[in-house]
Amino acid sequence: MKKEVIILGDIEMGAGTLTDDFISDTTLSRLIISLVKKKHPVDLILNGDTFDFLKCPYITKQGKKTYPRHISQDISLGKLGLIFQAHQRVFDALHEFAAATKNRLFFTIGNHDHDLFYKGIQHEIRKRLKSRGNVYFGLQYKEHGIYAEHGQQYDAINRINPQNYAFIHKGRKHLNLPWVSFAVISGFTGLKEEHPFLERIRPIPLLFSVHQEAKKKLSAHSLRYFLKSVFYYPFRYFMDPTYSFPRSLFHEFYRRLRNMHWDIDGVVNVFKKKKKKLIQKHKIFVFGHIHKKYLEEKGGTVIIHPDTWRDEYILDERTKKLIPKLKHYVQILVKDNGELQWSLQPVSIQRSSWNFADVAQNERAFIRLAAKEEEFIPVKM
Ligand SMILES: [Mn+2]
């Protein structure tokens, strides 16, 4: 065999606080270590949203927890330090993986880790992993007829601008995030701290149907933020680009607000329309972003979403029980003759199912319990 390619995404590592939903450090580091033992070269692609910089707090010099919307490289570096601390085992495993120069590690950039555009962030990650020139950052991975990217570019409201990943405001460089990302930072991190567990539950419409209070709260919250973004912020903060509202997306946001539509729209159909040429040149396509398992095979081409590595649950409509999602990765063997053999591999985790009613009563207790079941040690909260 020439090479093995492993693709997984949406790990969303944060600072280990209430806004961090990644707790599967044991399972993920075990998987990475299993790759270290392989004799052949391995390309490991962490396919976007590897880090959740968006919901990761920044601790000021005075020790205060904040969620700033003006994200200079120093702010990003501060957050990265917290993420390294909270998820040491994952970075230790990645370091072991990258210690063999036959292996290569790719971070594709997603909407939650836009900060990876900063050269200083790339440098710190390479330093932490003691890279031997085999750690890469970019928007896509395309080799051996395999194409992987996060997928936010086919989602109108989360689309980023790679040519202008940052802007200058008051003489300093800050990340140029999509409007939704600024809304998450300023409008929703507080709500996430209040309801840290509810946000891990899918499908969202079913969640709202059994928890009217959460629906009302989110609805009121979003409406307020939306109205301010259109009628107030652009005037109050006229010179500040983080407050500019994309007029072209007004109808889209309005529609979503009216329908309480919080799921991410599928990216596959938009990709197919926009990238016809690219599709002809590759055989296997892997995306993230939507946090749903998806598989489509047709005429020798396959499109795969391996789902998320966040701690997420499916609410069972009949029993009202929360079923923990499995984790998945895409494994592709590149044979000596260039032939590709792919599979979508599930990774089982030992987890309990809980009654939704119990969880909703005491979200923080169940956040702690979930962490305990996966041997993850949260930061004091
Ligand atoms: Mn994403």
Cβ contact 12:22 at 8 Å: yes
Domain encompassing residue 365: 3-211+265-373
Ligand 1 centroid to residue 289 C-alpha, Å: 4
Q: Which residues surround ligand 1, an ion (CB under 5 A)?
A: 49, 110-111, 289
What separation in Å is there between the alpha carbon of 337 and the centre of ligand 1? 35
Q: What does the pLDDT read at residue 83?
A: 98
**CB 290 within 8 Å of CB 9:** no
310 CA distance to ligand 1 middle (Å)? 12
Distance (Å) from CA 39 to ligand 1 centroid:
33
Residue 243 lies in a domain: no
- Predicted confidence at residue 256, as pLDDT, reads 82
- Predicted local confidence at residue 290, as pLDDT: 93
pLDDT for 292 beyond 70: yes
| pLDDT in the model for residue 59 | 97
Question: What's 155's domain CATH number?
Answer: 3.60.21.10
Instruction: Name 158's Cβ contacts closer than 8 Å, sequence gap at least 6.
Output: 111, 152, 178, 180, 181, 264, 289
In which band, very low, low, confident or very high, does the pLDDT at 381 lie, cut at 50, 70 and 90?
low
pLDDT of res. 257: 78
The confidence score (pLDDT) of residue 236 equals 83
Find the 12 Cα to ligand 1 centroid distance in Å.
Answer: 9
Distance 52 CA to ligand 1 centre (A): 9
Is the CB of residue 69 less than 8 Å from the CB of residue 185? yes
How many domains does the chain fold into?
1
Q: pLDDT tens digit string along 191-234? A: 999 999 999 999 988 999 999 888 888 888 888 888 888 787 88
pLDDT of residue 244: 84
Distance, CA 40 to ligand 1 centroid (Å)?
31
Counting residues of the chain whose pLDDT is more than 90, the rounded percentage is 78
Distance 364 CA to ligand 1 centre (A): 25
The model's pLDDT over 108-142, given as tens digits with 9 standing for 90+, comes to 999 999 999 999 999 999 999 999 999 999 999 99
pLDDT, tens digit (0-9, with 9 covering 90-100), for 15-52: 999 999 999 999 999 999 999 999 999 999 999 999 99
Q: Supply φ then ψ for residue 271, to 5 degrees.
A: -60, -45
Q: How far is the CA of 10 from the centre of ligand 1 (A)?
A: 7
What distance in angstroms lies between residue 22's CA and the mean position of ligand 1's atoms? 14
What's the rounded mean pLDDT across residues 333-343? 96
Question: 323: which 2 tokens?
Answer: 């079923």
Q: Is the pLDDT of residue 58 over 70?
A: yes
Ligand 1 centre to CA of 242 (Å) is: 20
Per-residue pLDDT at 65 exceeds 70: yes
Contacts of 381 (CB under 8 A, 6+ apart): 17, 18, 364
Residue 257 included in any domain: no
Q: What pLDDT score was predicted for residue 296?
A: 95
Q: Considering the chain, what percentage of its residues have pLDDT values greater than 70?
A: 99
Which pLDDT does position 228 carry in this prediction? 84
The reply to whether 165 falls in a domain is yes
Number of Cα atoms under 13 Å in the Cβ half of residue 27: 20
C-alpha 126 to ligand 1 mean position (Å): 23
Beta sheet of 313-315, edge-to-edge order = 201-202, 313-315, 321-324, 354-355
Residue 236 lies in a domain: no
Tens digit of pLDDT for each residue in 250-289? Answer: 788 878 877 777 767 689 999 999 999 999 999 999 999 9
Mean pLDDT of the chain: 94
Please write down the long-range contacts of 95-99, taking CB distance under 8 Å and 24 or more positions apart. Answer: 95/128, 95/129, 95/130, 96/32, 96/33, 96/36, 97/32, 97/33, 97/35, 97/36, 97/42, 97/44, 98/129, 98/130, 98/131, 98/132, 98/134, 98/135, 99/36, 99/130, 99/132
On whether residue 170 sits in a domain, the answer given is yes
Could you tell me which residue, 70 or 266, shows the higher pLDDT? 70
Closest CA to 350 of 375, 328, 321: 375
Q: Is residue 248 part of a domain?
A: no
Assigned domain for 324 exists: yes
Q: Give me ligand 1 centre to Cα 338, in Å.
A: 31
381 vs 193 pLDDT, higher one: 193
The answer to whether residue 226 is domain-embedded is: no
The one-letter code for the residue type at 216 is K
Spacing, Cα 37 to ligand 1 middle (Å): 30
Distance from Cα 111 to the centre of ligand 1, integer Å: 5
